[in-house]
Structure 1
């Protein structure tokens, strides 16, 4: 069959592009069953149906098209855009992950020399950037589920591959979150299973460093997850209550200010134990963390998160005080100062948060008392917004002063 040409569309193919925009999966399924519809047909701009679905954020439609053999790496677009680039531009992390799982290449460039991650970053879709940069192929992990060389048994049982891959793919590096992911999978809450998992992570770390195109970021991530697994293993061997004691140790705040000192020391120790001292990333992390006194900013977690995922931790978003999950929308009903992603996390954190809750509540009450000048400035901000662009300078200055006072 001849390769599709730009703009060479049948009536049914034009129809399916309209159906994709409307999000009608049922009708799209019927059209794809027709011989008149080529799943990789091109409109006049060189966009395939999959590109349209990815750009419009239609996850179910993307899944349907991939099931029918859509080419995830087609780059016939007039400016060289791929489906992964459109997924990143849409800001949909689930679609971005779907494209990656389908084999999308991350290093393809468009006509201006930008990759999918760079395009997503350019338009501010940082969550998609994180997903792309942290992608790890399941096939690379499956390699260890088969005996290699003289080995009689695989280094990783097939039953552990799925749960382990889920942890590798996480973009939340908070140790509490990783321990919670371990607890979610009963097959991982086992001494023998954790031993195999951390040994495979160490092998992957070594592979990332010694491969021709060295990947220090991925190597550090593999090493860090391995350290968390080893800590889980140590607690499983010593504690009767499984991993609950480890979670409490990581969350427990010091009496003076509630800062999780044990967690900070643990993350610093993980970084210090990275076995490849010549790595540039390790040296940068050490230089950033060493001068900082424990309890001050930046924390080891924020520095590590920015280095490995590109995320600016705790900026422009609320993070769960327990597991570090982004987009936490539940606040402590008393102090209103601490956010959580779920009731479970709030309950886990209460044993240590209750020591600081009253003082945080008093601080919050003090901040809520507006001075006359602050009220005047807030009024100026509201007025300027109503009058349009002519008062943007007043709005900007008033906003800055409000932030300064708060």
Structure 2
């Protein structure tokens, strides 16, 4: 940890204000302790910010633990509790709420640095997940050690150390902390990377985190250069928020994608995490389509409209019309109004609610994707009787605003066979048995 301490000594000056995001877990307690001890050498203010995500029964105990910990160490303690989630992607929404809260605290205290305890192992996991899921150059680089915001900096001092380094520090200094038991649950993608992929990489090279950090920095350097070049060019192809398609087509492919990202940034701001290169490809397909007048929807009620040579990205407040789309049996991909995609895949080891495995003998093909209808019912997998789709939405806590555009997969007899991302039907085939078609929702 000597490198971390030396870095912080050079960074923090007298009278600086440091806000640390602290969950009460081993990583944030380690960083908290380092900063607390540094106050003996440098006269700066330290504020602890804790977010109670309210999804585990231990969450309240962690909040109380942190409050007592700060009281004992005479550190100002700030906390918030997330009482309700409205998004179907919990991790993205929690992150957005968390950083909005941190931003408010930085303004309240006129903060200099916001510090989080992301470490080298976190960086490896993030990069690998981005590569597998698809992202942008910025996404593939994971996260940075330093990020400039409008009036402060986000600092991740532990990015160069491993989880093992952190645990050894905590053991040496006899620090108490909470363990999030969900970190051991294989249901979460990140946990599978942490338990399976990471140990394999570290067995190959115990300093693999240093290689990933170098990789991250290299991509960030390329990303900065591409941004500079795009800034020079974008004014020539985008005017009054309209993209000139003919001029756009003449650009280099790397610059093209960045122009799209720049346009999306205008609409998404801090929610840009919701997007990846899948959405850029969707927009490019719209641009190169033979249809001069068409549109697609992206997450958060954003609509991309092509009208002859113009492309506009705009927020929509009006209700989305109902739709019905046919999906083929091979290599088929359908872009949905909610910004998601349903595609036919050859195989998958994953068998959660984002996948459906179906047989022709049980259903009438082709399959269709449509919006819900009054009276829709489905035989939920594991149940002997039908359940109203309306009740499934309610039990799954799907916001009312999203139910009318949520995709429902039916066969040609209008039999509901899958509610993507929410529930499978009794027609879903077990993973160990052969099926005729596998659908993926993402």
TM-score normalised by L of structure 1: 0.32
TM-score normalised by L of structure 2: 0.30
Q: Which is richer in helix?
A: 1
Q: Which is richer in strand?
A: 2
